[in-house]
Amino acid sequence: YKKGHQPYVTHPVGYIRQQKDGRVLIKVSDDEWMTYQLYVWLAGGGKKPHENQFARLKPKYCGLHYSKWQKKHIELVTHSENLERNTINRFPPELISAIRVLSRLKREIENE
pTM metric for this prediction:
0.76
| Dihedral angle over CA of 27, 28, 31, 36, nearest 10 | -50
pLDDT tens for residues 60-107?
Answer: 998 899 999 999 999 999 999 999 988 998 999 999 999 999 999 999
pLDDT tens for residues 36-47?
Answer: 999 999 999 999
CB-side exposure of 70: number of CA atoms within 13 Å? 2
